[in-house]
Each structure stands twice: as structure tokens, then as C-alpha cells.
Amino acid sequence: MSEEQRPPADPLSEDSTPLDHIVDDSEQRAECREWIHREFSEGRGADDILAELIGNGWPTEDAETMVEEGRRATRHLRGVVTRDEVARAAESRYRTSMNIAPKMATFGLLWVGIHFLANLPSTLRALRRRPPRDPDERRD
């Protein structure tokens, strides 16, 4: 494995003194996060990445946190759809439909009214031409 493919080593190794732990390791963490992102993008699993980070001296808790952040950040690249995304899309469709409902009701009532008025003359004509129910009610 080339040096470029290996994750950066932890600057806080176990053989240092407590005062040596006061360092700015943000650059190493940024490099490691980029490496984790790249590895997830290439299809490696979280367990493999975590094992390699721990093997290179990163504390287990820090390594787990960075791997979890990387896993969440690359969901879209791996085709993962979360429950939150599905719920957010459903909520958006629901809110959109509720915005349209008053318009549908208004124009629906208008449409029903227009059809009622358009069919009213033919309905009245049909009622006038209706044959009598009783033979005694016949009009001449």
C-alpha cells in the first residue's frame, strides 16, 4: 500500500506525555476525514476503515466518530435513502397538496355551479315533457 493510500497517523500516540497531548491536530483530522470520504466513495466498508484507523494509532472513540461522520456524509454517493429524507419528501408533498386544496374546492364549486346552470334548461324541459304517472292526470 503506498503512502498516499494509508490514513494519516494519529499525532497523539500512546508513548507521549500528557503535555504532549496539547497539540493542534486539526490538519491531521482534516486529512483523515478526506481520506475516509475518499475510501467510502471507493466502496470500502466502515468496519475496514475503522480497523485501519485504529491500527494507525487513532483513539477508538475519535476513529469511530470520524468514520460515522464520513458514513453519513457519503450516503448520497452510496445510494442510501434515509427515513428522514422520505419523511421530508412526504411532508413537502402534503404541505403542497394542502395549499392546493382551497383552490380545488373553490374552482370545483364553480365548475359544479356552471354545469348545474348549463344543464338546468334541459332538466326543466325534461320535467315538463315527462309523461303523467296516473292516467287521470293527463292534460289535453
Per residue in 33-59, pLDDT (tens digit) is 999 999 998 888 999 999 999 998 889
User: What is the count of structural domains for the chain?
Assistant: 2
> Is residue 22 one of the residues assigned to a domain?
yes
Cβ-proximal residues to 81 (8 Å cutoff; 6+ apart), any chain? none
Range of the domain at 43: 18-78
Q: pLDDT tens for residues 96-138?
A: 877 887 888 888 888 888 999 999 888 888 888 766 676 666 5
Whole-number mean pLDDT of the chain? Answer: 82
Single residue among 78, 95, 113 that ends a domain in this structure: 78
Cα separation of 72 and 45, whole Å? 13
Q: Note whether 93 and 73 are same-domain residues.
A: no
Q: What is the pLDDT of residue 48?
A: 93
Contact between 13 and 56 (Cβ < 8 Å): no
Residue 17 C-beta-side C-alpha neighbours within 13 Å: 2
Domain-located, residue 94: yes
Confidence label for 24 from pLDDT (cuts 50, 70 and 90):
confident
